[in-house]
Structure 1
Amino acid sequence: MITQDPYKVLTSWNHSFHFCDWSGISCGKRHKRVTALRLVSKGLEGSLSPHVGNLSFLRELYLANNSFQGTIPHELGRVSRLCRIVLAENNFSGVIPTNLSGCSNLEELWLYENKLVGSIPKEMSLLSKLVVLVIQENKLTGGIPPFLGNITSMEWFSAGGNPFGGECNLYGSIPPSIFNLSLLVNFSLSQNHLTGSLPSEIGNQLPNLELLQLWGNELTGVLPPSLSNCSKLRILEMNFNNFSGKLTIDFSKLKDINIISLEHNNFHGRGEADDMRFIDSLENCTRLVYLGLSNCNLTGVFPITIEGDIPSSLGNCKQLNGLNLCYNRLSGQIPKQLLQIPSLTNFLDLSHNSLSGSIPSDIKALKMLSTLDLSHNNFSGTITSSLGECISLTMLNLSGNIFQGIVPSSLSSLRGLEVLDISQNNLSGKIPQFLGKWNSLEFLNLSFNDFEGELPVVGVFRNASLFSVLGNNRLCGGLVTLELPKCKERGRHKKRFPFFILVIVIAPTLLIVFCCVYLLWKKKPNSQPSQSSENERFLKVSYNELLKATDGFSAANLIGEGGFSSVYKGILDSNHNKRVAVKVLHLQNKGAQKSFLAECEAWRNIRHRNLLKIITSCSSTDFQGNDFKALVYEFMPNGSVHDWLHSSAYASKLNLLQRINILRDVATALDYLQNRCQTTIVHGDLKPSNILLDEDMVAHVGDFGLARLLGTDLNQNSSTGVKGTIGYAPPEYGIGSKMTSCGDVYSFGILSLEVMTGKRPTDDMFKEGLSLHKFVYMSLPDHAVDVTDDDAIVLQRTEANAKKVEECLAATMKIGVSCSVDSPPQRMKMEIVVIELQRILDVLQNI
């Protein structure tokens, strides 16, 4: 029962073709019966017909990454030959059918990223051949049933992102029987509310483990040393839990390990040599790609504390491409062996420790390293010229140390550098001219040093929001807005070129050119065939239908107005009296035509529960013969976030839980646009008025009039084009940079801060260097409640609950601050934002 087939993949499904020749169908060679149905990522919308139960020879059902809705038909249980069911990444609701146990040959069941509810049916224990069960990111409850331990054939069990536990035992524990599945290869229960500790013999019970993901829970106790016996382990992710005690895993036995992520726990040490033994054991982990032992969390609590020198044995990890040891108590110097790992290309983060000495000249060996962060340590001496040989660096942070002397001229070879922060040191001399010649530089921080002389006004120095020179009292010149003293003239009789002569000579020429261009433009035809043919694809409803639906586009039905369009509410008779929002383009305004095409193209490529649903479009003429274009959307009865924040029309205001839910919804939509679409899409104009709320207060992102599809013709940005809205557009757009996903992250950050504080970024209070970003940043971490919108806070009965609310406020605002920093590379990733907001919601919902 397919209602939408945007890619026309089912055009062959008719009597003109034998069903074995239909798209997505495979049949047996002898009996000509359907054995496989494969329609993955086809944009299909509708429900799965119960008649699928009549395909008695069906062995494989692949329908992943579509928009199927409704329940999974229980008739599937009649298809006993089924080996693989892949219904992931859809909108299936209801429960997992109990009679799937009738699929006695079932080996793989993939149901992740749906809306399934209820518990895992006990009948699943009858699937004796089941190898793969992947059910994460649904709405399943009731706990992890012990009977799953009876499916001894299981090799892959993944159930992350579900509110397991039910009403009586909300946090639940992992049943001991699960650890009897000795064939388990992949075991993932991340992002739940699981509590309790791991069995001490887990490594002996699950000897075949290759992937163990339990991050994002509330597990306690020590990490069992027996994990050392999982000799096949490749991925160990235990971050964001409450594990404590000393790290006693002998990593030397895990020779195939690729990823170790233990951040955000409560590990502790005593400063003794044996506290570093676990890192020393990494010497034999020659396939290690990522090592995360940091504590860079949003709450500002630093429970994991590693002490002592950085072991030189890390230099034996020849495949390591990312190392994060920030926020610990590491001391001593950087071992030369660490700088001789040829695979270290992604990042090296040793910030916020107590490292000392100078940067070894061996740093030059890291020619392919992208990010180097040595900030907030005790490094001294001069900045080594060897850094100039790290030609792949895009981010270099040396701030908060004791470096002195001048900036070495060798750094001029770092032409791909996007972020350079050398603030809070004792550097002196003149600001190097080459810093103003780098086209790639997006943020430069030279503040709180002792630089002197004239400040350049070229390159990055042309925009005051892209650099900082605070605390350098001997600088002069530069942009007027910096209010630095004027530089002394070198000579009294300096000749000045009479620029008025240029004006007299050039002005008539420019006037002639302008007139010629204007005459040519007047002769240009009003319509272009290529554009008309493009618009014909959008012709769905008539102008007359929309005129009637909105009562003649009456002012009484006007619900919003912008530079390119006006939006009216209405009722479409042809669509069963469905309430709609009609967006009418102002075609007389420059850019409206391009906005219409961009929005149509964007909606053709996306479909998500947190994106505004488009119903149809219209490209026609009105009764006077004028061009008319409109888009018709599903009506959102609760208006926009802007209305709830700033309009007096709503007597009640958004509470704290509603605000963070809205932010989570918006972040989920952006994560989809940036990471889960076939083509990455940049929204370009994220702001409260473009976030609309349905009857359940679920947020939907709308208005893709400025959208760009990266890698397509719609990504041709001009330097003079409109890019976002003042206050929400990132600073790099102001200097002509192309629209990117990082720009949307910045807009989301500002949106988050506005939602939490109730203050617009253009509020009159934000002047003389103060911005919404800085206003919130200065309140963290201890005074977040002081800048929060009063309507968002509900007083808690107990002091403990009040403390939790304050922590949630601070954590949410830190996300907004992290997303709205000036430097694009340093902005928070949207997939991380979604995870963090969900964690905050989980805490609030249990207060």
Structure 2
Amino acid sequence: MAQGNQTDHLALLQFKQLISSDPYGILDSWNSSTHFCKWHGIICSPKHQRVTTLTLEGNKLHGSISPYVGNLSHMRFLNLQNNSFYGKIPQELGRLFRLRYLFLNNNSFSGEFPINLTNCSELITMHLGANKLIGKIPSQIGSLVKLQALSMEKNNLSGKIPPSIRNLASLTKFFIGFNQLEENIPQEICCLKQLKIIAVHINKLSGTFPSCLYNMSSLTVISAADNNFNGSLPHNMFHTLPNLQFFSIGVNSFSGHIPTSIANASTLTVLVIPTNHFVGQVPNLGKLQSLRVLNLEDNNLGDNSTKDLEFLNSLTNCSNLSTTLNLLSFEGNQIYGQIPTELGNLISLSLLTMEYNNFEGTIPTTFGKFQKIQMLTMFGNNLSGAIPSFIGNLSQLYALRLDGNMFEGNIPPNIGNCQRLQYLDISHNNLSGVIPLEIFNISSLTNTLNLSHNSLSGSLPKEVGMLKNIDMLDVSKNNLSGDIPETIGECISLEYLYLEGNSFRGTIPSSLASLKGLQRLDLSRNQLSGAIPKNLQNISFLEYFNVSFNMLEGEVPTDGVFGNATQVAIIGNNKLCGGISQLHLPPCLIKGRKHAKHHKFRLIAVIASVVSFLLILSFIITIYWMRKRNLKRHFDSPTIDQLAKVSYQDFHRGTDGFSPRNLIGPGSFGSVYRGNLVSEDNVIAVKVLNLQKNTYYKGQEFKALVFDYMKNGSLEQWLHPEILNVETPTILDLSHRLNIIIDVASALHYLHQECEQMVIHCDLKPSNVLLDEDMVAHVSDFGIARLVSTISGNASTTGISGTVGYAPPEYGMGSEVSTCGDMYSFGILMLEMLTVRRPTDEVFKDGQNLHNFVAISFPNNLGSIFYPHLVSRDVEVTEDGSIENSECLVSLFRIGLICSMESPKERMSIVDVTRELSIIRKTFCHWFSHS
């Protein structure tokens, strides 16, 4: 065997030696009984018998690459893609001077890009994607002047795209998506006259596109989604890009109009521009004969005019598009009008999403022609009429969302024909009648069934047990009655079960204990009786249990979820007893003995007589919303007749005769003093009512309310100590702020959802959020709060002004108070906590406000508005103003922005807020482990 042959033979044996796992036995043929040129995956040159090809693609090989591979000096083709190789790519590969094709993608290679590879000057194709490479793309990459295809996507590369790419004159395909690359695309890319594909999506690139990109007639693909690009698109760009087939720039900050030249982009198959700032009308798209995917969602397209739907007419009038267009999405815009019936001509659609617009009228009957439709979402519009029965003919449907509209009438029974349906949400409508049994025959329904917030009547059928694989079932806030069927225990995959706000009677089914994966169970505001089944304490995953406002009695269990008072809500059941001490329930009767005396409660008193319900509510919430570090955490509250009474002399002595040095501050209805009741060993805050301003107590000599003293004052003094001229021990970090946000949201949830009669606070702001010794937030000051009648469903705004900056804009125009108004105040409160800017800051002039101030920088430039003292090692602001590891902050800012939208109907409800905050807390709990 020649010397060269021996070198190759030894190199291959060394390669095999570092393979630790070969599940298919691919390398079994690599043995001495066969010449190495006949081994599996090896091709040799006929004349010299030197290895020219080594290809072992997709064989699940596990191991590292031997540096001896660098001795295969005649190698032209090396393909190890789709295996499990790890470790660094050997620098010795740079000695393969004849190498033309290198495929190492879809492995687990780590370390930096091996610079020696740039010595392989004959390389035509280099694929290193889907590995774990780090560091920068070296400037030496420019020496690969013959390179035509360069793929390094799905790594952790950082830094800039090197200007030396100008030398890659033969490059046609450039894939570097899914990395951490930063700054602009260099102007030097204009030198790549042969470039057909540029894919830079999901990086941290910024700035505007080099203008030359819009003039590179060779381009067929531009993929730049999920970066920080900005600027507008040239109006003639589709004239200068005649071969463009794929254009994807979603999740950036592009603005302006969609170029009108798109009307002539006849080669375009994919147009994806969601989550930008495009405005105006969508141009005519009728000539886009090859279009398959059109995604325009989450922009500002449309202007509530009749012209908003002209682009849809142009689509539906194109005969070719009826058979080519597969995906159409224009959700989250401002498109107005009735859905054109011609839209049903797009019979090849598999996805149609049009939620969060201003569509009105009915669903066209022509939608019945969507025989290929798999996902149809139309929620958050103003659609009305009945849910059409043709829905049952859409046999391929797996997701249907019609929630948040004004549909009425019955649920069509033939929806049960959709035997591939996994997600069904028709909540928040005006639907009536009974729940069709056919729905429970949909065996594919595994994700969600949400029928909540309608006017459905009748019972929850026993057939519900047929949904054995459903994750979430929500029939809350309807008019359902009867018993909760025992068969619900057969829904063994249930994680979330919401039955609250109905008229269910009977007992809580003990079969619920069979739901071993159940995480949240809400049975509140029904007419359930009997005891809480003791076996529910055996559900190990249960983290929220709410049976408030029923007629339950007997002993409360103490294990499982019942062992944590912050996870249990049982108020409004006056005959419950026992449980853990933190629930403050009376002890249960001991058989054969007289009833024991009640425990003495912590002092929370009303002096002389009970004051109005709203003022009483203030201290009930202050006491019973104790330490809550997850959402929907409620405590039972004692009945009013259990509250202790205290003499005037005790107050006088405890406050040193209402001495000015004990004055905490004046209020609109009286003054608040700090005091100490020796008999109770309790520091308190006493609000002495100003009887001249409170006509309820005219003629009475002395009235006061007593609260727990809030040692840490108000949230306002923690956010703005320099303005209020106070000192705080430390700055609230992000974990504290999240906890306070959750506490305030929990209080609002109680007011809006849990009270027997809904309460609207009307004046939520930092000075009305008090912090106790443990930094738990308490919502206070219900001086202008309003009860919402359960009959009329509204409350007058007479005499309500709120506080400038926190009061919603509709109150200033005479609108009735609503929960949406409280949500606006909550949103502003969140934004103030994250930016530490008051809504009345002097910088907000000429129509500017806190909401707009944040919205302009959301989500890609939050670093310029985020309070700098909250930045930690986990959250870092980059030079361009973006924030690394910012998912938590983006989520919090998003909630604040949606809650503070100008239009009340666009704001989130407190139910959605608490649910999302719960997800945020779980997802990012590693940030807040010290809390």
**1:788 and 2:801 are equivalent in the alignment:** yes
Identify the residue that residue 670 of structure 1 maps to in structure 2: none
**1:422 and 2:570 are equivalent in the alignment:** yes
Using the TM superposition, give the Cα deviation of residue 342 of structure 1 relative to its aligned residue in structure 2, in angstroms. Answer: 1.7
Using the TM superposition, give the Cα deviation of residue 287 of structure 1 relative to its aligned residue in structure 2, in angstroms. Answer: 2.9
1:381 corresponds to which letter in structure 2? Answer: G
SS for the counterpart of 1:33 is coil
Identify the residue that residue 330 of structure 2 maps to in structure 1: 159
Higher relative contact order (CA closer than 8 Å, sequence separation 6+): 1
Identify the residue that residue 387 of structure 1 maps to in structure 2: 536
SS for the counterpart of 1:14 is helix
Identify the residue that residue 253 of structure 1 maps to in structure 2: 417
Relative distance call for 1:87 and 1:756 in structure 2 (3 A) is farther
Using the TM superposition, give the Cα deviation of residue 257 of structure 1 relative to its aligned residue in structure 2, in angstroms. Answer: 0.8
Using the TM superposition, give the Cα deviation of residue 42 of structure 1 relative to its aligned residue in structure 2, in angstroms. Answer: 2.2
Query: Residues 658-685 of structure 1, C-alpha deviation per residue, up to 9 Å, x if partnerless?
Result: xxxxxxxxxxxxxxxxxxxxxxxxxxx9
1:308 corresponds to which letter in structure 2? Answer: G
Identify the residue that residue 815 of structure 2 maps to in structure 1: 806
Q: Distance in 2 between matches of 1:126 and 1:15?
A: 36
What does residue range 642-791 of structure 1 map to in structure 2 within 5 Å? 722-723=731-732, 733=736, 742=742, 757=763, 760-762=766-768, 771-772=779-780, 774=782, 778-780=786-788, 781-784=794-797, 786-789=799-802
Q: Distance in 2 between matches of 1:784 and 1:778?
A: 9
Q: Distance in 1 between matches of 2:761 and 2:574?
A: 40
Identify the residue that residue 717 of structure 1 maps to in structure 2: none
Q: Distance in 2 between matches of 1:319 and 1:773?
A: 46
Identify the residue that residue 903 of structure 2 maps to in structure 1: 840
1:390 corresponds to which letter in structure 2? Answer: I
Query: Residues 777-803 of structure 1, C-alpha deviation per residue, up to 9 Å, x if partnerless?
Result: 64555145643338689999xxxx999
Identify the residue that residue 361 of structure 2 maps to in structure 1: 196
Using the TM superposition, give the Cα deviation of residue 115 of structure 1 relative to its aligned residue in structure 2, in angstroms. Answer: 1.4
Using the TM superposition, give the Cα deviation of residue 255 of structure 1 relative to its aligned residue in structure 2, in angstroms. Answer: 0.9
Query: Residues 173-212 of structure 1, C-alpha deviation per residue, up to 9 Å, x if partnerless?
Result: 1112111100111111111111111123422x21111111
Q: Distance in 2 between matches of 1:399 and 1:449?
A: 19
Q: What root-mean-square deviation, in Å, do the aligned CA atoms of Structure 1 and Structure 2 show?
A: 5.0
Q: Distance in 2 between matches of 1:314 and 1:209?
A: 27
Q: Is the 8 A contact 1:756 1:792 kept in 2?
A: no
Q: Distance in 2 between matches of 1:462 and 1:217?
A: 38
Relative distance call for 1:774 and 1:121 in structure 2 (3 A) is same
Q: Distance in 2 between matches of 1:454 and 1:373?
A: 30
2:251 corresponds to which letter in structure 1? Answer: E
1:352 corresponds to which letter in structure 2? Answer: G
2:327 corresponds to which letter in structure 1? Answer: W
Query: Residues 370-425 of structure 1, C-alpha deviation per residue, up to 9 Å, x if partnerless?
Result: 1000011111111111111111111100111111112124x356567742111111
Identify the residue that residue 473 of structure 2 maps to in structure 1: 323
Q: Distance in 2 between matches of 1:265 and 1:67?
A: 38
Using the TM superposition, give the Cα deviation of residue 136 of structure 1 relative to its aligned residue in structure 2, in angstroms. Answer: 1.4
Using the TM superposition, give the Cα deviation of residue 53 of structure 1 relative to its aligned residue in structure 2, in angstroms. Answer: 3.0
Q: Distance in 1 between matches of 2:717 and 2:291?
A: 47
Q: Is the 8 A contact 1:312 1:335 kept in 2?
A: yes
**1:213 and 2:219 are equivalent in the alignment:** no
Identify the residue that residue 45 of structure 1 maps to in structure 2: 206
Q: Distance in 2 between matches of 1:423 and 1:215?
A: 34
SS for the counterpart of 1:70 is strand
1:70 corresponds to which letter in structure 2? Answer: G
Identify the residue that residue 512 of structure 1 maps to in structure 2: none
Q: Is the 8 A contact 2:375 2:398 kept in 1?
A: yes
Q: Distance in 2 between matches of 1:209 and 1:134?
A: 16
Relative distance call for 1:758 and 1:229 in structure 2 (3 A) is closer
Using the TM superposition, give the Cα deviation of residue 218 of structure 1 relative to its aligned residue in structure 2, in angstroms. Answer: 0.9
**1:354 and 2:503 are equivalent in the alignment:** yes
Identify the residue that residue 547 of structure 1 maps to in structure 2: none
Using the TM superposition, give the Cα deviation of residue 328 of structure 1 relative to its aligned residue in structure 2, in angstroms. Answer: 1.1
Relative distance call for 1:808 and 1:213 in structure 2 (3 A) is farther
**1:290 and 2:448 are equivalent in the alignment:** yes
SS for the counterpart of 2:598 is strand
Identify the residue that residue 147 of structure 1 maps to in structure 2: 314
Q: Is the 8 A contact 2:744 2:778 kept in 1?
A: no
Relative distance call for 1:762 and 1:358 in structure 2 (3 A) is closer
Using the TM superposition, give the Cα deviation of residue 474 of structure 1 relative to its aligned residue in structure 2, in angstroms. Answer: 9.4
2:821 corresponds to which letter in structure 1? Answer: T
Q: Distance in 2 between matches of 1:421 and 1:749?
A: 12
Relative distance call for 1:130 and 1:147 in structure 2 (3 A) is same
**1:367 and 2:520 are equivalent in the alignment:** no
Q: Is the 8 A contact 2:760 2:787 kept in 1?
A: no
Relative distance call for 1:12 and 1:106 in structure 2 (3 A) is same
Q: Distance in 1 between matches of 2:798 and 2:805?
A: 10
Using the TM superposition, give the Cα deviation of residue 110 of structure 1 relative to its aligned residue in structure 2, in angstroms. Answer: 0.7
Identify the residue that residue 186 of structure 1 maps to in structure 2: 351
Relative distance call for 1:818 and 1:37 in structure 2 (3 A) is closer
**1:71 and 2:241 are equivalent in the alignment:** no
1:51 corresponds to which letter in structure 2? Answer: C
SS for the counterpart of 2:384 is coil
Q: Is the 8 A contact 2:355 2:380 kept in 1?
A: yes
Identify the residue that residue 268 of structure 1 maps to in structure 2: 432
Using the TM superposition, give the Cα deviation of residue 11 of structure 1 relative to its aligned residue in structure 2, in angstroms. Answer: 3.7
Q: Distance in 1 between matches of 2:286 and 2:438?
A: 43
Relative distance call for 1:100 and 1:254 in structure 2 (3 A) is same
1:63 corresponds to which letter in structure 2? Answer: A
TM-score by length of 2: 0.52
16-25 vs 307-316, greater mean Cα deviation: 16-25
Using the TM superposition, give the Cα deviation of residue 464 of structure 1 relative to its aligned residue in structure 2, in angstroms. Answer: 4.8
Identify the residue that residue 694 of structure 1 maps to in structure 2: none
Q: Is the 8 A contact 2:339 2:359 kept in 1?
A: yes
Q: Distance in 2 between matches of 1:785 and 1:329?
A: 32
What does residue range 270-669 of structure 1 map to in structure 2 within 5 Å? 275-276=434-435, 278-295=436-453, 304-345=454-495, 347-409=496-558, 411-412=559-560, 418-433=566-581, 452-453=598-599, 464=626, 468=635, 470-472=637-639
Identify the residue that residue 663 of structure 1 maps to in structure 2: none
Q: Distance in 1 between matches of 2:427 and 2:397?
A: 18
Identity of aligned residues (%): 22
Q: Distance in 1 between matches of 2:421 and 2:802?
A: 47
Using the TM superposition, give the Cα deviation of residue 7 of structure 1 relative to its aligned residue in structure 2, in angstroms. Answer: 8.4
Q: Distance in 2 between matches of 1:795 and 1:372?
A: 33
What does residue range 22-33 of structure 1 map to in structure 2 within 5 Å? 24=175, 33=194
Q: Distance in 2 between matches of 1:757 and 1:281?
A: 44
Q: Is the 8 A contact 2:806 2:825 kept in 1?
A: no
SS for the counterpart of 2:767 is coil
Identify the residue that residue 288 of structure 2 maps to in structure 1: 127
Using the TM superposition, give the Cα deviation of residue 156 of structure 1 relative to its aligned residue in structure 2, in angstroms. Answer: 1.1
1:140 corresponds to which letter in structure 2? Answer: L
Using the TM superposition, give the Cα deviation of residue 101 of structure 1 relative to its aligned residue in structure 2, in angstroms. Answer: 3.8
**1:235 and 2:235 are equivalent in the alignment:** no
Q: Is the 8 A contact 1:391 1:415 kept in 2?
A: no
Number of residue pairs matched? 551
Q: Distance in 2 between matches of 1:263 and 1:816?
A: 26
Q: Distance in 2 between matches of 1:328 and 1:56?
A: 59
Query: Residues 743-786 of structure 1, C-alpha deviation per residue, up to 9 Å, x if partnerless?
Result: 79689999x9999748652599x9xx994475566455514564
